[in-house]
Amino acid sequence: MSDTPMSVPGLCDDPAMLDEWYPVARSREIVAGTIAPTTLLGRDLIVWRDAAGTVHVWDDLCIHRGARLSKGWIKDDTVVCPYHGWRFDGQARCVHIPVAPDQPIPPKARAFPVRAQEQDGLIWATLGNPAHPIPAFPARDLPGFRTFHAGPYTYRANGFRAVENFVDATHFPFVHAGLNGVPDAPDIIADYDVTQTADGLVSSEISVFQPVGDFRKIPVQAGYTYYCLRPLVAAFSKRVTIVDPAQAHLGSPDDRFVTMFTVQPVNEVTSIARVIFAINFAPDLTELDMLPRQDVVYNQDRDIVETQRPERIPVDLRAEMHHRSDRMGVAYRRWLRELGITYGVIA
Ligand code: FES
Ligand SMILES: [Fe+2]
């Protein structure tokens, strides 16, 4: 963890959470010449891009008198503090103190960077030393898939609650009525398995009927395989089979809709979800054709997840109540507990 002069109550001190990568912005949002504020695990940060294209994530704090660098600006490829105009370069060194431009600058005059990396169109940052690489978008190297982004969606809710919702196929008829399920004819969910691997959790396929299961706006039988890749990164691969034989020509038996759901834990009860998705069908559909459906679905999820109490997810399986159809959620909670996570959970 990079050293910081801050001592702020509520900052995360859970190594299991600090030693993870989290998205903090979408790559294309951060253009050279601008500074974006954000918060990760309670810690206020700035995200900026230098003229060479490298992204930097620093504490949102000037070492001189503690002003917020996010209120500053970029000049000559340096971050200018808005209070007394000190400037910090891409190495996080102070390179200019306006009241004494010709005097040597003390080495202690610097910004506080955290590790940052771009992958799959997102800027990821970590406050610790992750043992795992950033999880790859599962469809990245699959031939024939087109990839898109949706969100960000801000949930006034716990990130683990948001991920558990993402890997839950039994809420579709009620939360996504008319899209991913039918409230008057909810699917009976057959038993499925969840396996724990070195890469997290994976379910066997869960089959559900969806009246508008993808962007073609036609009924499909959908087969979900869920993955928990990291504590706040999950994915599904969904096989979509057109139900009406008269419309079957609109697709093929190999049609798939792959989604990765990532959460930036702003704090224990505020989360920013970003979604990467890819399809290998309907080549005529554009991002603009698809985003409205994504926005509807994730806003519906957000609305229900924001109601959940207690806000922090209980990882003691004696809390709340589990049905056999909740096998993925149960495995997820058990996994969080095994990982030793304390931040954002009720032990
Ligand atoms: S507080 Fe940043 S330059 Fe003084
Ligand atoms: Fe949902």
**32 alpha carbon – ligand 1 mean position (Å):** 22
- 113 contacts 20 by C-beta, under 8 angstroms: no
* 273 and 311 assigned to the same domain: yes
pLDDT at 2: 47
The distance from CA 74 to its chain's CA centroid, rounded to whole angstroms, is: 27
- Measured in whole angstroms, the distance separating CA 272 from the mean position of its chain's CA atoms is 6
Question: Across 243-311, where does the E strand assignment appear?
Answer: 256-267, 270-279
* Cα separations in angstroms, 332 against 171, 175, 227, 309, 329: 17, 21, 10, 18, 5
ipTM exceeding the 0.95 mark: yes
- Vertex 157: Cα angle to 151 and 161 (nearest 5): 90
pLDDT, tens digit (0-9, with 9 covering 90-100), for 53-86: 999 999 999 999 999 999 999 999 999 999 999 9
Whether 81 lines ligand 1, by a CB cut-off of 6 Å, is: yes
- pLDDT for res 214: 85
Do 266 and 314 belong together in one domain? yes
* Total length of the chain: 347
In this structure, the answer to whether residues 225 and 318 fall within a common structural domain is yes
In the structure encoding, which two tokens stand for residue 88, read together? 């910090």
Same domain, 203 and 74: no
Range of the structural domain that residue 103 is part of: 15-126
Give the whole-angstrom CA distance, residue 324 versus residue 99. 68
Ligand showing the shortest atom-to-Cα distance for residue 94: 1
Confirm whether 140 is domain-assigned: no
* CATH code of 184's domain: 3.90.380.10
The CA distance from 156 to 3, in Å, is 29
Residue 134 in domain: no
- Predicted pLDDT at 178: 95
Q: 341: which 2 tokens?
A: 């996570």
Residues of the chain with pLDDT under 50: 1-2, 5
Which residues have C-beta under 5 Å from ligand 2, the single-atom ion? 301
Cβ pair 275, 261 in contact under 8 A: yes
Two tokens at 18?
A: 């600090």
- Is the distance from CB of 17 to CB of 230 less than 8 angstroms? no
CATH number at residue 99: 2.102.10.10
Express each pLDDT in 88-117 by its tens digit: 999 999 999 999 999 999 999 999 999 999
Indicate which ligand has the atom closest to the C-alpha of 80.
1
Task: Among 73, 97, 126, identify where a domain stops.
Answer: 126
Q: Tell which phi-psi region holds residue 85, choosing left (phi > 0), alpha (psi between -120 and 50) or beta.
A: left
Q: Which of 75, 84, 105 should be mutated for ligand 1, with most atoms under 8 A from CB? A: 84
What pLDDT is recorded for position 340? 98
